[in-house]
Amino acid sequence: MKVGFIGLGIMGFPMASNLIKAGYDLTVYNRTIEKAEKLKGAKVARSPKEVAENSDVVISMVTDAPDVEEILFGENGVVKSNKRGLIFVDMSTNSPEFAKKTAKRLSEYGIEFLDAPVTGGDKGAREGTLTIMVGGKESIFKQVEPIFRAMGKTIIYVGDVGSGQALKLCNQVVVALNMVAVVEGLLLARSFGIDDEKLFTVLSTGAANSFTVQYYLPKIMKGDFEPGFKAAHLKKDLKYALEIANSKSLPLLGTSLALQLYNAMVSIGMGEKGTQGLIKVYEKMISK
């Protein structure tokens, strides 16, 4: 199968690289063409329409729902290729409702749709060990599964369209609260004069251990706030999760707090930094 890939950011570039390593015939598009040209072994398209014309499966890995809509239905969007039988896979994180609406709109053009958000951060994207959660027709999932396996280690078929996004939002709630816990634990330890390395040893070898502890706590300790996953993106995901929770009358109190904290992080100009930069919000509160 010929594959198209749209969106070569922190996650998309290494994901596309792994498809090339797996031997796929890859056509890519990125708003910044220069970035696409750095991907050795891929053909560079000048529009999403051109990607679709040269692909059997098109994958998007962009920021939010408006970006996906532009890719699909914009002036030079995927649907303008008039390629019936195409499979479009949105690996971005969006709302389940958006996935359902998108699938319905694409069906009018004879295009199949899967929502397949990922977790594992930039590390998982580079190493090809992402966890991928997939919603859509099972028959279409089975066609695309080998492509997913070139980018991820754990592939979960969840169910109907939108269910991949639903599971991803559950994941993001836990991710966000883990970061809050790590930051607060670190601040408390420092208030006692406890060495950061000793805290890391305890957290990483005991009941508190997690990916956040293993990967992000050392970054915080070093003052490294470059993004593996941007704070502005997590804020967006938490907003989706809370909108759904509110519609179901679910009291996600921790998630509400986490969203407020990430709103604050974006407001102090750190939205493009990694989620571990949350400690800066706490430090600002301490300094007042």
The contacts of residue 159 (CB under 8 Å, 6+ apart) are 135
Last residue of a domain, one of 160, 188, 216: 160
Which of these, 255, 276, 19, lies nearest to 130 by C-alpha position?
19
Q: Return the number of other C-beta atoms located less than 10 Å from residue 135's C-beta.
A: 28
Number of domains in the chain: 2
Beta strands in 126-261 (DSSP E): 130-135, 152-159
Q: pLDDT digit string (tens) for 116-142?
A: 999 999 999 999 999 999 999 999 999
> Helix (H, G, I), strand (E, B), or coil: what is residue 27?
strand
- In the chain, the percentage of residues whose pLDDT exceeds 70 is 100
Last residue of a domain, one of 145, 160, 175: 160
Q: Are residues 193 and 274 in the same domain?
A: yes
Residue span of the structural domain in which 191 resides: 166-287
At 9, is the pLDDT very low, low, confident or very high (cuts 50, 70, 90)?
Answer: very high
Q: Are residues 46 and 152 in the same domain?
A: yes
Q: Are residues 118 and 184 in the same domain?
A: no
Last residue of a domain, one of 134, 160, 186: 160
For 223, counting Cβ atoms within 10 Å of its Cβ (0-12 exposed, 13-18 middle, 19+ buried), the class is: exposed
Q: Are residues 135 and 186 in the same domain?
A: no
Q: pLDDT digit string (tens) for 184-231?
A: 999 999 999 999 999 999 999 999 999 999 999 999 999 999 998 999
Active site residues: 168
Q: Are residues 149 and 7 in the same domain?
A: yes
Q: Are residues 208 and 190 in the same domain?
A: yes
Q: CATH code at 67?
A: 3.40.50.720
Q: CATH code at 230?
A: 1.10.1040.10
